[in-house]
Amino acid sequence: QVQLQESGPGLVKPSQTLSLTCTVSGGSISSGTYYWSWIRQPAGKGLEWIGRIFISGSTDYNPSLKSRVTISVDTSKNQFSLKLSSVTAADTALYYCARETAGYSSGWYDWGQGTLVTVSS
Partner 1 sequence: DIQMTQSPSSLSASVGDRVSITCRASQSISTYLNWYQQKPGKAPNLLIYAASSLQSGVPSRFSGSGSGTDFTLTISSLQPEDFATYYCQQSYSSPFTFGPGTKVDIK
Summarize as ranges the residues that interact with partner 1 (CB under 8 A).
Answer: 46-49, 60-64, 96, 98, 100, 104-109, 111-114
* Nearest distance from C-beta of residue 121 to partner 1, angstroms: 27
Based on CB atoms, which residue is closest to partner 1, 107 or 121?
107
If the CB atoms of residues 8 and 16 are measured against partner 1, the closer one turns out to be 8
Sign of CA dihedral 101, 25, 93, 71: negative
DSSP characters over 94-105: EEEEEEEETTTT
Least distance in Å: CB of 13 to partner 1? 26
